A and B are shown apart, each in its own frame.
Chain A
Amino acid sequence: MITTGCLFILVTLALALLRAVRGPSVYDRIVAVNTFGTMIVLLLVLLGFLTDRPEFEDIALLYVLINFASTIAVLKFVKYSSLAGPGADRGASPKGGTAP
């Protein structure tokens, strides 16, 4: 059963990779990368059980956190061109001449 799960996850990884390469819009690629990270995490958990070392689950949990945080960081960059948010750097400059 674990083997079947691994196979399906590998197929999903291939589809997500295809979407990340082909994806016409920015958001297609972001969702593809996020899905890819989630699938890698699932694959790591299954690998832990496949090799009888389920203590590797902790690493998978930390991967989930990193994946979540980096997706939010990427989305903030796409929207505001900086990590600080909308009003941090350009709210005070009326001409908007500062670097983002």
Chain B
Amino acid sequence: MEQIIDIVLLAFMVVTAIAMIRLRNLFAVVMLSGIFSLLSAAMFVVLDAVDVAFTEAAVGAGISTVLMLGTLALTFRDERPATRADWPAMLVVTVTGAALIYGTLDMPRFGDPDAPIHQHVAPRYIVDSPREVGPPNMVTSVLASYRGYDTLGETTVIFTAGIGVMVLLGSVTRRRRRARPTTPATPAAPAPPEGRP
């Protein structure tokens, strides 16, 4: 039964991806991308990567859908029809995809206990982490304790990026608000085309 669910979920992902390529209505494409990330989150749960699945559901289905809708409010609603097929790009994509698939041929079988990733430090995490760190979830112990400095660095990077975005957006809003009482007819930013949904 689980295999049937896997196959059907993967088939849904293929159908969604093809529909996203074929559709010209960009709102529909954004909605379909939300569906796609929900499907991939379900696939991650099936693969036992629950934390990745949760991030995918929060970022992919939640935030990025809203961000893309915000972009859509500033641009047109329909994609311009493609005039001709771009064969060099097709060639590059095909070669890259073939190289990636060729690279997976050397990989150990999925779930193979003799794979290198299961031999290096994973046994120590599995055996010793409840005693050394404490939480029953191994991923939590790895992220918060064994790779604590790494996580601290990541958090610093994301925090700095957030501050940068807030400073950029906040200065635009403040300037617009200051300019409004004196010259209300002058828009601070170029007005978008009237194509909002």
Q: Which residues of A contact B (CB under 8 A)?
A: 3, 6, 10, 13-14, 17, 20-21, 23, 26, 29-30, 32-33, 36-37, 40, 43-44, 47, 50-51, 56, 59, 62-63, 66-67, 69-70, 73-74, 77-78, 81-83, 92-95, 97-100
Give the size of the chain B interface in residues (CB under 8 angstroms).
48
Task: Say yes or no: A59-B53 contact (C-beta < 8 A), given A14-B12, A17-B35.
Answer: yes
Residues in A whose Cβ lies below 8 Å from that of B15: 17, 21
Indicate if the CB atoms of B8 and A98 lie closer than 8 Å.
no
Contact A69–B62 (Cβ < 8 Å): yes
Nearest CB of A to B154, in Å: 21
Summarize A's interface: helix, strand, loop or mixed: helix
Establish whether residues B39 and A66, one from each chain, have CB atoms under 8 Å apart when the complex forms: no
Which of B45, B70, B176 lies in contact with A44, CB distance below 8 A?
Answer: B45
Asked if residues A10 and B69 are in contact (CB atoms below 8 Å), the reply is no
- B residues adjacent to A (C-beta < 8 A): 1-2, 4-5, 8, 12, 15-16, 19, 23, 27-28, 31-32, 34-35, 38-39, 41-42, 45-46, 50, 53-54, 57-58, 61-62, 65-66, 69-70, 73-74, 176-177, 180, 184-189, 191-192, 196-197
Q: How far is the CA of A25 from the CA of B187 in the complex (A)?
A: 32
Contact between A73 and B66, CB atoms less than 8 A apart? yes
CA A98 to CA B177, docked complex, whole Å: 10
Contact partners of A23 in chain B: CB under 8 A:
28
Residues of chain B lying within 8 A (CB to CB) of residue A97: 185-187, 191
Q: Which secondary structure characterizes the binding site on chain B?
A: helix
Complex Cα distance, B12 from A94, in Å, reads 47
* Residues of A with C-beta under 8 A to B73: 77, 81-82, 100
Q: Are A47 and B46 in contact (CB under 8 A)?
A: yes
What's the Cα separation between A78 and B197 when bound, in Å? 6
Q: In the complex, what residue of chain A is closest to B74 when comparing beta carbons?
A: A99
